[in-house]
Amino acid sequence: MQERKKIAIIGVGLIGGSMALQLHEKKLSAALLGVENNPEHAAQALELELVDEIVDLDKAISLSEVIIIAIPVNWINQLLPAILDKIDQQIVLDLGSTKSEMLQAVKHHPKRGRYVATHPMWGREYSGPAAAVRDGFENRAVVICDSADSDKDALHWVRNMYQKIGMHIIEMEGKAHDLHAAYISHVSHITSFALANTVLEKEKEEQAIFEMASGGFESTVRLAKSHPGMWVPIFLQNRHHVLDVLREHIVQLQKFETSLENNDEQALKKLIEDANRIRRIIK
């Protein structure tokens, strides 16, 4: 049985709050401390009993054995080296969606071994503590990056923690993670944002959108409700990979455009049949 630890969660929003629920439910935490700069979110986190106490960063570091960073990736890059400066033997992990820049930021830090870089592959279009859910991480993948640079005991605890909350582990080099995340996750959000803007630009009747929107449209634009404070830093930090996949996506859209312009039934059929191959991967 995994020993319970005193855990601090920096950023008690959707991801941090959902993690807190799982850590408590799976009996992994002896105490849960929250660090939250947004006063409204701090109050909600306490009201919803996501954490036992809201404290400042220094107190969280001094009282905890594990520090989980669940804030936007641009802030992780700035905060992570400072946290490593202040820890003794605490385990530090982040839940960010990009990895290359933060790994580079601590590459030569003397306490680099206490840090485990992770990305749980789950999220929702909603944000804040009230959006936290109990089973968000179950049966999902989590990517652990550059694990050879982490101390064995830190890596062991983090791996066991993720398995205990129901996730399956993928190990990957940080740069490879960012490439694959651009294709699997980041371009999906850009597509959703762009489609929502297209519909809002062309369809001026909001009531018509509301009344006629079908399940397919709703599922496609669901991600367009995601918070810009989270996604702008992700796009910018991973912009080289995102630009690469976005350009390929534009090429694919242009193929549909050309087929329609030419009234080419066979070309359209071929494009859709090619896309149907995704069934082999995603059921």
Contact 223/188 with Cβ under 8 angstroms?
yes
Distances (CA, A) of 112 to 109, 146, 252: 5, 11, 42
Note the CATH number of domain 5-172: 3.40.50.720
Assigned fold of 177-280: 6-phosphogluconate dehydrogenase C-terminal fold (1.10.3660)
Contact 162/142 with Cβ under 8 angstroms?
yes
Token reading at 150: 């982490």
pLDDT digits (tens, 9 = 90+) for 53-75: 999 999 999 999 999 999 999 99
Q: Would you tell me how many other CB atoms lie within 10 Å of the CB of residue 243? A: 13
The pLDDT value given to residue 3 = 78
Enclosing H/E stretch for 84: helix 73-86
Token reading at 61: 């570091």
Strand ranges across the sheet with 5-10 = 53-54, 29-35, 5-10, 66-69, 91-94, 115-120, 141-145, 168-172
- Show me where the domains of the chain are located: 5-172, 177-280
The pLDDT value given to residue 279 = 81
The residue that leads in pLDDT, 247 or 204, is: 247
Distances (CA, A) of 239 to 7, 44, 102, 195, 234: 33, 34, 15, 20, 8
Query: Which pTM was predicted?
Result: 0.86
- CA 6 from chain centre, in angstroms, equals 23
